[in-house]
Amino acid sequence: MEIDGDRDTKEFVEIFPTNAPSNGVFSRNNGTHIMRFNLAPTEAFVKPGTMRLCFKFKCLKGDGTNIGSNTTIPTTAGAVAADQAFINPRLGVYGLFDQLTLSNVQGMKIEQINFWNRLMSALIPTLHSTHDQLDDLTNEDASSDDFIFSQRQINGGLEISCSMRIYSGLLYNERRDIPLSNQWGLNGLNLQLQLASDSQVFFNLGRNGGTASTGASANGGAQFQLSDVSLMCEYIRPSPTRLLELKSKTSGVIEYNSFSSLYNVVNSSNHNYVSELGAKNVVSCFGTFLPVVYNNSTNGDAFTNARMVNSTTAGQYDGNLVNIDELSFTRNGVKFPQEYVVRRNNQESAVVHSQIMRNFVDSIRPFHELLHSVVQPVVANQCVPGYGSGVGTNYDRSSLADKTRDGGALYGIGCPYDVLGDRGANFAGAQFGVQIQSDLGVVGNESPHALYLFFLNRETFMYSPQGLQVMI
């Protein structure tokens, strides 16, 4: 913005953790698993989309010693080296953080996202293409569309430099800058990131539903550590003229987006889940599935987003992909906003229901605005390591590549609540519900799956001489 030569200025800032340990290393194993950053109140805006977490990532054995230089991906379970570990290739280091919290300097909570890494496992592939993974994402967050390449990055005993974008409703809202002023803004901003457990981050190809094998995660575990941690972002300093205008306002409103989450378990062919959201402006809802046995366990990849899978053997997910026959979202028990049930055509048993996937994508970003994505039927229908017959005994490289095409599976359900605007639907005092009818568990064995639900909400703050308050 420029007025008579009076213009805003840009400033790049680097912020260090306020709670960094003496050795500068964050790790679950040394008890320093929370990072805190303080963006002090100042007469400036944070430019959305510019905030990055910079650090060095290193994978270690369970005893804290360095992983060896054996970077060969085995062809059989028995060939898994004792010092190898595996991470989700598409997610990369985004899988390292399971909670994000934003507040101001007075401690007023602005946004808290539980299961943040699961949220990112849905956002990254939906909003980025395979070419993005091969280009900037590989350099920024150690992700890849190639499972084998991804594992070679972490199994060499070296530190990997990362510059990871921070996604949240507030921090990635491109509509407006984030004011930090204590007079006309949020009164500073505190960012807190919590590290995920090692057993959630790493998995072992030699384990399937609890079947013991070799490999790092079956022999003392694997762990990770982060060092040289800092937060970098871009400040916009308003021009003197604009600053006078901002200070002249005694009150105002700040609108922003936020994410929230819910967790439940699908353990029958007729699943009906209801919950109180307490949110007034819900823009969209989307969800992804994960076998319960893979949750926070080295039994399998905790960040896969595949279709549900039936079990032919108790505790193992080695059967057929589950078909969702009927899907509906409700408010107070009434179908809303779609006043009909999405039903699968019997001829679609071998493919993903197109309407389910279309609604899933629309819930993250309107389909017509989606320029980069890996969403496609081939990706939605594929399996992942740990799924399918023969997995756990044979890791043929060609078969493994097939199960991780373009970085792995991507499937989910969703419901956009306001496709024409951005005000969303009112769930204050109303129950949210989702009903899923499927062929889960019809083979006679329990096949429970976690359903992670994420909600995009529109929030409003009002600032005044009395401080900051949430508008309900």
- Provide the pLDDT confidence category of residue 56 given band limits of 50, 70 and 90: very high
- Provide the pLDDT confidence category of residue 372 given band limits of 50, 70 and 90: low
- Provide the pLDDT confidence category of residue 106 given band limits of 50, 70 and 90: confident
What is the tens place of the pLDDT at every residue in 457-470? 998 888 887 778 87
Is the sign of the CA dihedral 299, 300, 302, 308 positive or negative?
negative
pLDDT of res. 155: 64
pLDDT surpasses 80 at 235:
yes
**Is the domain covering 2-470 a CATH 2.70.9.10 domain?**
yes
Residue with the bigger pLDDT between 449 and 408: it is: 449
Domain ranges of the chain: 2-470
From 37-51, 161-175, 379-393, the region with the lowest mean pLDDT? 379-393
pLDDT surpasses 60 at 200:
yes
Percent of the chain with pLDDT over 70: 69
pLDDT of res. 323: 85
pLDDT surpasses 50 at 214:
no
Residue 206's identity, in one-letter code, is G
pLDDT surpasses 70 at 405:
no
From 109-118, 211-220, 316-325, 422-431, the region with the lowest mean pLDDT? 211-220
The per-residue pLDDT of the chain, averaged, comes to 79
| Residue 277 CB neighbours (<10 A) | 21
From 290-304, 352-366, 371-385, 442-456, the region with the lowest mean pLDDT? 371-385
Contacts of 154 (CB under 8 A, 6+ apart): 57, 59, 67, 85, 87, 142, 160
pLDDT surpasses 90 at 237:
yes
pLDDT of res. 78: 39
From 67-81, 287-301, 347-361, 441-455, the region with the lowest mean pLDDT? 67-81
Does residue 260 contact residue 109 with C-beta atoms inside 8 Å?
A: no
pLDDT surpasses 80 at 198:
yes
Region 403-409: what's the mean pLDDT? 57
Is the sign of the CA dihedral 106, 109, 114, 120 positive or negative?
negative
Region 118-141: what's the mean pLDDT? 71
Q: How many residues does the chain have?
A: 472
In angstroms, the Cα distances linking 313 to 4, 159, 210, 214 are 74, 40, 12, 21
